[in-house]
Structures are given as structure tokens and as C-alpha cells.
Structure 1
Amino acid sequence: MPERKTYVVEHLDAELGPWSELEYAAIAEETQRTRGTFMLSSLPHGFKVPYRLTGYPSFIAEGRSVEEIYKDEEEKERVCLLDPQADKDLSPDDKRDFDVFLFGGILGDDPPRDRTSELRKKGFQGRRLGPVQMTTDTAVRVTRMVIEEQFTLNKIPYIDYPELKFNDHESTEMPFRYVKGKDGKPIMPQGMIDLIKKDADKSINDLF
């Protein structure tokens, strides 16, 4: 059983927006620290890797879909799909059973779209991360905490729907669950608050 895990985001959109770029950079950085692998799969032909991601040896840009990459039945059994509709929650014991953790670019839509259904139909085993919608980087962070740090989901410190205050007159409530940092604030990608503040007049979905 490989100790170093692989985290795969099946990128289902034709483009990569600024929000997703910041999230993916955060995932790449954290995965690099744990000596794991972060892969974006199903990238369209001609996809140009953003500069933010080019400095991480842990990052892999892949044009094939996860179904093509893990087509052997034994390999497929070692892939865990993080699925809000799965029958079981992710647990520390899943470290023994899975080497690859698959995310469908699914976490971060508001309201959530069931984009995981395309991956669910491919036969990957599913696990839930709880009832509250997470951003993609938060979902990967929580998965890593459960699998590599052996937290149970109910022991992870969360902040749900945090309010971000920009000044005395401007604020916005984020419609997601985040991991609470040591400073008591939600852990967010570097540059994310500035992006949200800059584009406060846009909807959340416009930033992905």
C-alpha cells in the first residue's frame, strides 16, 4: 500500500477561472508538503498549465480521464470518489483501502450541481465528507486530514458560512464549509480574499 496518496480533480470545465486557479495552487502546495501527488485530469487539448502551478513537482496535468487512467479493475478498486450521495462517510480506516482520492470539480458550486454523477457512473467507490458544501481545496484538505493525519470527520474544526468583512460597510457571507485555522479564521487559498473583494459585484459562480 503506497503511503503517498494521489489526489485527483477531474476538471470538467473547458476553462480554468481565477477562483479554481487559486484553489488548485493551494492543493498543489499542500500536497507537495506531504510528498503526495496532485493531478488534474480530463484537461482539454491545448490546456496551458497556469504559471502558479508550474513550480510544483507534485502536480500532474493529464488529458486523459480517470476512467482511462485507472481502467484496470484492481486499480479502480483503489480509487475513492468523494461523493455527497455515497452511503458511507470517509474514515481513517480508508487509508488501507484507497491510494487515490477523486474529486469531480464538484465542490464549490452554489447551489451545488451533481457533477459527481458522471464519475459515479464509472463504478468508483464513494465516500461522503459530510452534509455541508465545501470548496474543492477544502474537500482535498479534509480528505488529507482524515487519511494522512487520521482525524475523524467530526473532530476536524470547521467554520460554516463565514462572513468576510472588507471594511465597515462591505462584507460577504461565503456559502461553504471551511477548515478552521490556528488563528480561528477559515483556511483559504492565498489571494482568495483579495479576489473576492475585487470581484465583490460578481456572483460566486462567476469566479470559478
Structure 2
Amino acid sequence: MTTIYLAEDQGMLNTALATLLDLEIDLSVVGTATNGGTALEDIRRLNPDVAILDIEMPQMTGLEVASRLVQVDVSTKVIILTTFARKSYFQQAVAATVNGYLLKDGPSDALVQAIHSVMAGDTVYAPELVRSVLSGSENPLTPREQEIMIYLRQGLNTKRIAQTVFLSEGTVRNYISAILSKTGSHSRIEAINTAEANGWLDV
């Protein structure tokens, strides 16, 4: 029987995943948490076979928990779950020597298969993540475009951005047009989502 620990800050998703995995005859969920601090303490105490960790959690991120587990030489294998295929997150996960890195919107059977694979000694990365993160695609945005996108993400309108970066509104609109073109987007929200998913706003 493979023992599983789940750490996901969204309570409903945590419960759903635990229920799903417990349906497998060879898997047993031995604990759950909604924050990284509790997860680290529990994993060190319970020493489960596999820990499934969300990246963005209160107190400690899943990546921080994974790094700490390496430092204290815990044998638990780690599978990271994430919403976005961000290059910076992926690089941190590799540095933390995680055993799996999956996207949350993947099929449920992929998670079950990943657990079996890491227990067999394999490292599992979501195919979608490998394509987007390891493709070597360069960030098409200039530093100024990145700056403007960050202000867009904060909800600032064109006038406010122009005042903040000391440019005319027309110039800011030109930058936004270039951003939409480079990201292949039809709206500012779509452009922000595309840039975030590709890690183009990571600093």
C-alpha cells in the first residue's frame, strides 16, 4: 500500500483529491493540510511514500516544503501540482529534485499514474508543461512592456499607467497594442493570462 499526503490550500479540492485517491485499492491518504507549515511537520512525522504539494500555499509554498524535505533527508517522494506552467517555478522544482510536476487541470488518472511512476523510480513531468517550459521560447516582451503589463495586472488604466511611468497616454496605448500583438491576444486580460502562463512577468 502506497501512503499519500496531500497539501492543497483550497479545501474543496483537497477533499476531492483525497476521496479520489482513496478509491484506488493500492493508495491510502494518511493526511492532508491547507498550508505548507503544517504539511512539512506532518510529512516529517508521518513519512508518507508520496507527498502531493500545491505550489502556492500559506506559510510555505510547496516548493519550499520540497526543498526543506531534501535538507532533512526525508525519503518521501514529492509531486508538485500547479496551475500555470511558469518557467521560474519549474526551475525551482528541478532544483528541489521533485519527482513529479503536474498541472491541476490534467486528467485525474494522470495523477494516479504519476504516483505509480514515481514509486517505480521515474520522474514525471506533465507533457503540456514540458512543451511550454522546456521549448526554449524566449520572452517576446521588452522590459518596458513587462513593466506596463505588471501595472495592467494590478488593474491600472491607461491614464494611471501613463502617470506612473511618465509617458503619454498615446505611448502607453502603443505599448499595449504591441503587447497584444506579441502575446497573440484580443484583450488585456488574455494577454496577462498568456504572459503569466509562460512566466514572462517573472522577475
- TM range, smaller chain: 0.3 to 0.5
Q: TM-score, normalised by structure 1?
A: 0.33
Higher relative helix content:
2
Q: TM-score, normalised by structure 2?
A: 0.34
Structure showing greater relative contact order (alpha-carbon pairs closer than 8 Å, 6 or more residues apart): 1
